[in-house]
Structure 1
């Protein structure tokens, strides 16, 4: 596995930090400071026009309770869902977005020093970046990993700008579930990915990098190929062993969980993405002993299941 080290960062020499770019083994204590800094508050309702009006909070809560009741008899879920959501947002921000932005800046600096100013991430096309990642694999080994995160839209300028904005806004406070940000006075429109789509892609790509290679998925998308699908594709619910998050709608975005032949559709709206990911992880914790295939999502592995701790 590649080690991503930002030579210019004091973190890379600090004994309290993992030497790898993705800080794999973080504990709940590592997040305590930022969690205190960004105390969870329910996200403001987006002002962007939506094709569907949000259900009332009470109706949403009751609907969510009914869906969760099919997974667990524990009443604790609804008491903790806000806290879990805050921790998940924090985990995505601290584990994926912030390190990714640092590495993008580092690689751009290296490319400029190598006399390739035309290859700046956030300016060059995704095809140019893919080609450069192959050509410069020996001098910039992390570039190929970065490119995987960016392969979601042709508009690289918008994507990189938006990733940076989400990473720098603290617990992703600028997140807009059914929209995005403005770029150079241009308002977000549906030709650009929603923040939900960006975060789902980041989450999948990160787990692609953590799952061992599989001969069936030579492109390296081991997690994405097995555990994510999106419209117009339809998951084959008759497959008993299918366990995936399915994006059933693009605009506005809506996600469902497919598990053991059943579809679990949590209430639509601003937290649907996070709550669907939480249900996916919760099932892994309580029904799969914390294992996703051969990979432990607990303390000795990806270390994401701490979000369910009190």
Structure 2
């Protein structure tokens, strides 16, 4: 099913929503993660663990550090899920910092990234779309209450995001809602609402279109709630992006 103009607003208003979303993603997610990584690396240096800096050590090595030295770096366990989108940690950490640096994802490259170690971006590295989507899902995971059905702490991701290898289950209830990634390179996202799959325009704004349709459905059909999690001002505070200008 083609989404077309189902989000409703005129193009100018929709462009404003995208702008607001980019600000929110950069400042609420990317900058916060980058800042926490910086703080953790500082603490690791302070305790003599220079060889296990985030961006240099593997995710498995960081998990071991988080277990052994939890009292020194208590927030490391919270950051590790954000790092699982790529095994190339030095590239990932640089890209997270770059994307949050200007506060509006100005450097966002939907189907690529940036040069790495003097070489152009190649498709063994994650696209910016993949990084932003993973960090958004991980952030929302952190805001959802613990659920014994999802002991890995991914209550949002498990219920509301589908990777390309997954297939929608059309036996779901009518208020089923998920973002569905159908391609990795170039990245493409759709939204599943009930038993319908809504396709969205391809290209540089596809990621933002998918997130906005997902949020619009929460706002207009779910009273601003996803389960018992508020997406409005009393909770995650993201629904404002569809009402007024950021600044």
TM band (smaller chain): over 0.9
Aligned to 1:289: 223
- Out of 197, 202, 208, the residue aligned to residue 274 of structure 1 is 208
Aligned to 2:142: 209
RMSD of Structure 2 on Structure 1 (CA)? 1.5
Residue 27 of structure 2 contacts residue 103 of structure 2 at CA under 8 Å; is this kept in 1? Answer: no
- Out of 221, 229, 251, the residue aligned to residue 185 of structure 2 is 251
Aligned to 2:24: 91
* Residue correspondence of structure 1 range 2-21 to structure 2 within 5 A: none
2:92 match: secondary structure? helix
Aligned equivalents of 2:15, 2:33: Cα separation in 1: 26
Aligned to 1:100: 33
Residue 207 of structure 1 contacts residue 223 of structure 1 at CA under 8 Å; is this kept in 2? Answer: yes
Q: Gapped runs of 5+ residues in structure 1?
A: 1-62
How many residues align structurally?
243
Is the counterpart of residue 237 in structure 1 residue 170 in structure 2? Answer: yes
Residue 130 of structure 1 contacts residue 144 of structure 1 at CA under 8 Å; is this kept in 2? Answer: yes
Q: Gapped runs of 5+ residues in structure 2?
A: none
Aligned equivalents of 2:57, 2:123: Cα separation in 1: 22
Greater Rg over alpha carbons, structure: 1
CA deviation after TM superposition for structure 1 residue 187, in Å: 1.3
Aligned equivalents of 2:95, 2:115: Cα separation in 1: 9
Aligned equivalents of 2:185, 2:170: Cα separation in 1: 23
Please identify runs of 4+ aligned residues in structure 1 that moved more than 4 A.
none
- Out of 81, 100, 105, the residue aligned to residue 172 of structure 1 is 105
Aligned equivalents of 1:165, 1:260: Cα separation in 2: 37
> What is the TM-score with the length of structure 1 in the denominator?
0.76
CA deviation after TM superposition for structure 1 residue 95, in Å: 0.4
